[in-house]
């Protein structure tokens, strides 16, 4: 094609048709500029098409994370409900005298056991860390996702504070051997009868006046309060997550 145009220019010059040559040269320049503009437009269209595909993929992947998180919220909430019931029952069991100290302690450990809620934020983290947040053209949805991430981080901090307080209360005893920690099933198995025989035997669970009886009972009430707070945090998070899920489903992600 270039050779073809070059031959035309040579022919016009050789024939002395200068004015036609200049007109032709200008026309050729115009054609080249138009060609460049068309190429740029096609390239921009291709880039926009690729970005739109990537944007749609991000929306669907974020929705997958949200759906998974909603499931995790429900699972953790169910575990907390079970612990709340166990804690209430343990307060009653402790006050049913006589009782068995090892049974009380095993249940006490179970009430204080904590699960960590680890939400899936892989896609949103990938978008923000890679600088691809600009690809999300739906401003309302983008802002809503940013708001949700802030709400999620705050909830995770609150849950962590609750867990720390529960663990602190459950472990705050001056002499755990007098408390009877060695009577917990997994410790009893690890220590063996010979070592357990060397440790104190204090039947505080059958003495409501004993300091450990009062302290464990107080801690159970405190733990119950923390569990109820955790349940409320999960309820708030589940409610908060519904709007972004709906907005994402409107992007034809199911």
CA 170, CA 164: separation in Å to the nearest integer? 10
pLDDT of residue 251: 83
Are 95 and 208 a contacting pair, CB within 8 Å? Answer: yes
The residue segments making up the domain with residue 52 are 2-249
CA 170, CA 197: separation in Å to the nearest integer? 25
pLDDT of residue 35: 64
* Regions of the chain with pLDDT less than 50: 1-2, 4-5, 12-13, 21, 24
Residue from 224, 230, 229 nearest 92 by CA? 224
Q: Which helix (H) or strand (E) holds 245?
A: helix 211-249
Number of domains in the chain: 1
Residue 81 neighbours by CB distance under 10 Å = 13
In a domain, residue 93? The reply is: yes
In a domain, residue 53? The reply is: yes
In a domain, residue 254? The reply is: no
In a domain, residue 211? The reply is: yes
pLDDT of residue 5: 47
Task: Show the 3-state SS of 2-16.
Answer: HHHHHHHHHHHHHCC
CA 46, CA 119: separation in Å to the nearest integer? 35
- pTM recorded for the entire structure: 0.80
CA 198, CA 189: separation in Å to the nearest integer? 15
In a domain, residue 114? The reply is: yes
pLDDT in tens, 61-117: 999 999 999 999 999 999 999 999 999 999 999 999 999 999 999 999 999 988 899
In a domain, residue 174? The reply is: yes
130-165 core/surface letters (b: 16 or more CB in 10 A; e: else): eeeeebbeeeebbebbeebbeebeebbebbeebbee
pLDDT of residue 191: 93
Residue ranges of the alpha helices (H) in 95-138? 101-112, 122-129
Residue 124 neighbours by CB distance under 10 Å = 20
């Amino acid at each position: 094609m270039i050779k073809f145009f070059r031959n035309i220019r040579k022919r016009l010059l050789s024939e002395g048709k200068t004015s036609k040559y200049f007109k032709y040269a200008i026309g050729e320049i115009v054609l080249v500029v138009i060609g460049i503009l068309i190429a740029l437009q096609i390239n921009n269209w291709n880039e926009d098409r690729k970005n739109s595909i990537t944007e749609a993929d991000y929306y669907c992947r974020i929705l997958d994370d949200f759906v998974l998180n909603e499931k995790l919220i429900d699972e953790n909430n169910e575990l907390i409900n079970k612990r709340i019931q166990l804690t209430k029952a343990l307060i009653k069991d402790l006050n049913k005298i006589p009782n068995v100290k090892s049974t009380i302690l095993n249940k006490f450990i179970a009430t204080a056991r904590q699960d960590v809620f680890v939400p899936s934020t892989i896609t949103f983290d990938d978008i923000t860390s890679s600088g691809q947040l600009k690809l999300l053209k739906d401003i309302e949805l983008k802002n809503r996702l940013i708001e949700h991430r802030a709400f999620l981080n705050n909830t995770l901090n609150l849950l962590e504070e609750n867990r720390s307080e529960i663990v602190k209360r459950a472990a705050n005893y001056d002499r755990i051997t007098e408390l009877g920690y060695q009577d917990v099933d997994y410790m009893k198995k690890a220590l063996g009868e010979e070592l357990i025989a060397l440790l104190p035997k204090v039947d505080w669970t059958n003495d409501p006046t004993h300091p450990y009886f009062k302290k464990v009972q107080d801690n159970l009430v405190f733990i119950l309060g923390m569990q109820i707070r955790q349940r409320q945090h999960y309820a708030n998070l589940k409610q908060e997550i519904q709007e972004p899920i709906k907005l994402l489903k409107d992007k034809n992600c199911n």
